[in-house]
Amino acid sequence: MLQTLKETWHRVCGTPSGGRVAPALPPPTAAELAAIDALRRRADALARAQGGERAGSHALWQAHLQRFRELLQTADPREFLRWDVVRRTMFGGSQSYVQPELDALRGLEDWETRWRPAIRESAVGRPKRYGAYPESSGNLIHHAYHLARFEAATRRRVDALQRVFEFGGGYGSMCRLFRQLGFRGQYVCYDFPEFAALQEFFLRSLDIPVAADLAATGSTGAALCLSDLPALRTVLADWRGRPDTLFLATWSISETPLETRNVILPLVSACACYLIAYQHEIPALNNREFFTRWAAEQADVAWQHTDIEHLPGSAYLFGARRSRPVP
C-alpha cells in the first residue's frame, strides 16, 4: 500500500528541485493531493487569464516565473520554500542581516508577549529554520523587523489597521505575520498569477481565510490574492478616505519599471500609512531620487526616510497621513 502511494505521488508530483526526493516528507494525504491539484489548476487558470508575457515585468522575472512553473508541475509543492527560485526571490534564510534584526526584536518590551509568538514558524512549505533561533526562520524574522520599525516610526500598530495592500506578496508570509500579530482586517496581495495561486495555497494550509473572488471578500477579514489590475482598482476604490489603510511594498515596487509604478502608485495615494523598503538604485533608475520626489507629492503625509544601516544600499520610507490618523 505504501509503495503504491509513493508511486502515485511521484507520478503526480515528480521529484523536488535537484532531482532527489526529500526523505523527511511522507506520502501526501488525500487532502494534500487535493490542495496541490487546486494550486496547479489555479495557477494555470490565472496565468491563462493574464496571457503570455507579463507587461511591466523584467526579463529576469520572466525567467523566474518560467522556473517556478516548471517546479510547480514537476516538484513537491509541500516543500516549495526549498525550491531554488523561491529561495532566490522570496525566502532569505540565514543572511547576515537576520541576526541584528533578531537582536532588535528581542530588545523590544513586548518581545515575549507579542513578537516571539508572532514569529513562530510553521511547517508549511518546509522552511529552513534560522540556526541561531530555530523557533523561526530568517525570512519571518526579517518581515517582523520591518513591521517593528514601521510601528516605531509611525506610532501605528499593525493590528489596529483594517486594510492592507501588499504589492508583491511573495508566498504570503507577511500576510501570515499580520494575522499572527492580531490583524483581522482585509489583506490584499497583488502579484504575478502563479504567486497569487501560491499565496492562496500557503494561507489556506495555515487555515487563514482566503476569499475566492471579489464578491466573497466583502467586509470580512479574508485575504484576497489578486493578479488582475481591474480587480485591484475595484478593491482600492473603496479604501479612499479611510484612516486605517496601509500600503506595503518591501523591495517590490522598487524593482518594477516606471510604467508599472505609474499605474500602481496613484492607486495607493489615498492610503493612510506606508511601509516601503527599496534598494537605492536599479539599472537605469535612481530609486532614492524617485521615492524622494514621489513622497514630496504627498503633502499631507508625515514621511520618515532612512537608510537601513545593516543593509547597505537599501532604505525605508515610512509614512502616516496627518489628516487621517489610524486609531
201, three cell numbers: 495555497
Q: Which residue has the higher pLDDT, 189 or 90?
A: 189
**What are 12-43's pLDDT values in tens digits?**
344 444 444 445 689 999 999 999 999 999 88
Domain 110-125+135-321, CATH class in plain words: alpha beta
Are 258 and 285 spatial neighbours (Cβ–Cβ below 8 Å)?
yes
Q: What is the pLDDT of residue 53?
A: 45
pLDDT above 90 (res 55): no
pLDDT at 42: 87
Alpha-carbon span 118 to 136, nearest angstrom:
9
Return d(Cα 177, Cα 151) in angstroms, integer.
Answer: 14
For the chain, the domains span: 2-89, 110-125+135-321
pTM: 0.88
- Could you please report the per-residue DSSP string of 168-192? S-TTSHHHHHHHHTT--SEEEEE--
Q: Is the pLDDT of residue 109 over 60?
A: yes
The residue with greater pLDDT, 204 or 95, is: 204
Model confidence pLDDT, tens digit, residues 145-179: 999 999 999 999 999 999 999 999 999 999 999 99
